[in-house]
Chains A and B, each alone.
Chain A
Amino acid sequence: MKNPLPKKNKHILFAALTIFFSASAFIIIRGYFIYQNQKKDIINAAGQQLTAIAELKVWEINNWRNERIGDASVIYKNNEFASDVMQYFSNPSSPGVKNNILSLLSAIQKSYQYKSVLLLDTNKKIRLALGDYHIDYGTIHSRAINEAVEKYDIVINDFHINERNSDIHLSLIIPIVIIQKSGVKHIGTVMIIMDPHMCLCPTIKLWPVPSDTGEALLVQREGNDVVFLNELRHIKNMPLMMKYPLTELSLPAVKAVLGWQGVVYGTDYRKKNVLAAVKAVPDTAWFLVAKVDTEEIYAPIAMRFWIIVFFIIINILVLGVIVAYIWRYQQMKYYREQYELEDKRVFLYARSLIEASLDPLVTISPAGKITDVNESTELITGRSRKELIGSNFSNYFTQPEKADEGYKLMFEKGIVRDYPLSIRNASGQVTEVLYNASLYKNEAGEVQGIFAAARDITELRRIEKELKTAHNELELRVKERTNELQRANEALQSEITERKEVEKLIELRTRLLEVTNKELESFSYSVSHDLRAPLRAIDGYTRMILRDQIDKLTDDAKRKFDLIRSNTQIMGKLIDDLLTLSRLGRLELNMSTLDMESLVNDIWMELQIINPDRKINLKIKNIPPGWGDRTLIKQVYSNLLSNAVKYTKFIDQAYVETGGCTEDGENIYYVKDNGVGFDMEYYDKLYGVFQRLHSADDYEGTGVGLAIVQRIIHRHSGRVWANGKIDKGATFYFMLPQKD
């Protein structure tokens, strides 16, 4: 039987899959959030680091500025130097003063490697110079000098391009003043020119932590542009003071000059995504940008990503194994339940089969005690199940010894078939039975007992007897019937033989007839031909005699020679008709639908031409179209109509009528005249070859015309017949079958 369980099984599978997939989804989502958090942490850390670096740089720049101002302080508010300068300006040729000034300035220049140190007078004209400089520096820095003088303080001039040699430099402007009672008096200016690449940029360039892309930029705004002041890490030989328009908002540098503070995302001058910290440098127009490529920041994030993915996969696999294990366990449990149910059902089924058996069934222990019985056994023995189980099985037979013998035989052979015994009922009634028994064993193959089934054969015996009587009766009847059949068969056999002989005879005759027909045809053909030759000769010679001997012949001889010639022609006509007749048997029919009326009209016209002296009234009544060979049917009409013309030649008012009708798929046609008619007594000679009912002297002709008509109609599977009376005219009929 098929398991009715797949439905529940499906539920279990569905639940397992649901658990598996939802847990997997949870793991993946959780992994995703972990990843996102870690990413955020890393970015935050990077941002903090950048901010720290930016602050450090700003601090360093400040530091540097303070140092520079410190350097300048050596000169600034140095009264001794101021008086030397004053003396030098009033008397430039005084060597002592000049040397003093030069030695101080040169000390400053050398110790800090400044590009140049210049001494300018109040007119901003260079009076003393050390290092590389330009003659117009005074005018170039005029604004800064004014500012310094006004403020009476050191001014650091911003980065600017030396227009002469396209150098970038920073300048430190120190006003030189003398403090008098009347106030502060400006006497000159010292200008220190610095190369930023030598002094400031290295400080900025330095990145405090190891990084492949980390970079600090110093920028400032100039009109609508942002200007990069320091050398860039990623552009070798960069153009001086690179500029970008403020519209390029993605540049962190632009963001910086526009007032952004803190950590920003952006795209740098290389079009690379970067994370940057921007900060203004206090007391200057400068901004500092500390940036790192996001790629570098994300590198560890990518690593984390794969680690998380790995853990997700491991988690899902473990989950899968667990779910599969649970599913299997559930399934096994389910199958076990089913199996137990089935087991129980099978047991009940087997038991009910045993009980339902009409044959008495018993199991007997090796010791010969009954261990189990069914209802039939109770019935046949007339004892209850309780009584029977545990008792000796042989007790219930008329011959207990014979029962024991059968029981022993059982152990010898392992099986017993149709062993006859008689059971005695509790009420003394005896039932004849046949026993079938076999050993039954446990799984280990040990004999557990005997399973025996008895069959009540009382009824069987009775039927056997009846059957035998019936069988004998039947045999007798079969014998009788067989004899009858044999006789009939013999009679049939002789009839068949007879019939076969007849068939053979018919076949032989048919063949003979065919041969005869063929012979007849070729005979009549050659006869017709061979007969013509002598006739031709007779006519030919007669003509020659009449031509050559005309003078010597008497009138009577001439008349007789003429008769020879006319008879020759009659003979020729006879032969021609015979030829036509013989040809008819050989011709193939060329069947078509025929317009009989036009056929009749054509022939009538021809006949009128042949017989111009005859005035005959022809009436054509309704003629149905026919199915036949045109030439042959025309011949039929031609013969019948010319006969009608011929046999009315002595009638004053000759009348010919033709017509037809259709009956039962047959077309019937007729040709009627009011001529001499014929005697119906000789009707059977009417269609014979060379048969004539009238004298040839009165009515010329060969007597073949009607034979031809009959032959043609017969070849069309039709019929011909006629009616007539002497001097009362004649009617000739012919029938043609319609097209099937």
Chain B
Amino acid sequence: MDSPEIIIIEDNYHDVEMISDALHELRINKKVCVLRDGVEATKYFFNSAGGLNLNINALPKLILLDLKLPKISGLEVLKALKINKETRSLPVVIFTSSDESSDRISSYNLGANSYLVKPLDADEYFAYIRDIINYWIGMNATAQ
């Protein structure tokens, strides 16, 4: 099985490295794919006609989505994911530096499964990643 189970949509290189490091520290051997902006993310999932761009079996188990993305914002990407029938049920965790309640409300309204503010403290950061993985992938794994 070559398709990635975790998709990280994040433009900040340092955040990508920190998430990857945390996954490594947690010894999680899932295939991870990093998408660097909103356009790249949209193209990964959908073709120009709005249909699914990849095999239904190739859909990931978890999407970590930043809101502040170049070109197309994270909220737009979230909207596209939650409108489409095939991708609607994918768990999308918003992982952002914004603590604005307006962002929080918009995300939940569009169907985000979780909204987490990136903490400054690196220990906390690690703990967040651990909890996200445990909750969204670990639980699914035990269910299967």
| A interface residues with partner B (beta carbon < 8 Å) | 529, 532-537, 539-544, 547, 565, 568-569, 572, 579, 583
Contacts and interface: CB of A to CB of B under 8 A. Distances in A.
Contacts of A541: 14
A539 B98 contact: no
Contact of B97 (A529, A544, A583): A529
Given A529-B68, A533-B14, A540 B122 contact: yes
Interface string B24-39: 0100000000000000
A536 B118 contact: yes
Given A529-B68, A529-B97, A533-B97, A543 B14 contact: no
Interface in B94-117: 97-100
B45 interface: no
What range describes how many residues of B lie at the interface?
Answer: 20 to 34
A161 to B, nearest CB: 121
Contacts of A544: 21, 122
B99 A536 contact: no
Given A543-B122, A568-B120, A533 B12 contact: yes
B18 A540 contact: yes
A529 B98 CA distance: 7
Q: Which 5 A-B pairs have the closest CB atoms?
A: A543-B122, A537-B14, A572-B120, A539-B122, A540-B18
B99 A579 contact: yes
A491 to B, nearest CB: 56
Given A529-B68, A536-B15, A544-B21, A569 B120 contact: yes
Contacts of B136: none
Given A537-B14, A540-B18, A544-B21, A532 B122 contact: no
Contacts, number: 51
Contacts of A535: 120
A569 B119 CA distance: 10
A536 B68 contact: no
Most chain A CB within 10 A, of B12, B100, B121, B125, is at B121
Contacts of B15: 533, 536-537
Interface in B68-102: 68, 97-100
Given A540-B14, A569-B121, 5 more contacts: A535-B120, A536-B119, A540-B18, A547-B25, A568-B120
Nearest to A579: B99
B71 to A, nearest CB: 18
B129 to A, nearest CB: 11
A145 to B, nearest CB: 139
A549 to B, nearest CB: 14
A536 B18 contact: yes
Contacts of B121: 539, 569, 572
Given A529-B68, A543-B126, A544-B21, A536 B98 contact: no
A535 B118 CA distance: 11
8 contacts: A529-B98, A536-B15, A539-B122, A539-B125, A540-B18, A541-B14, A544-B122, A572-B120
Contacts of A537: 12, 14-15, 18
Interface in B16-75: 17-18, 21, 25, 68
B2 interface: no
Nearest to B19: A540
A469 B99 CA distance: 90
B105 to A, nearest CB: 14
A548 to B, nearest CB: 9
B39 to A, nearest CB: 21
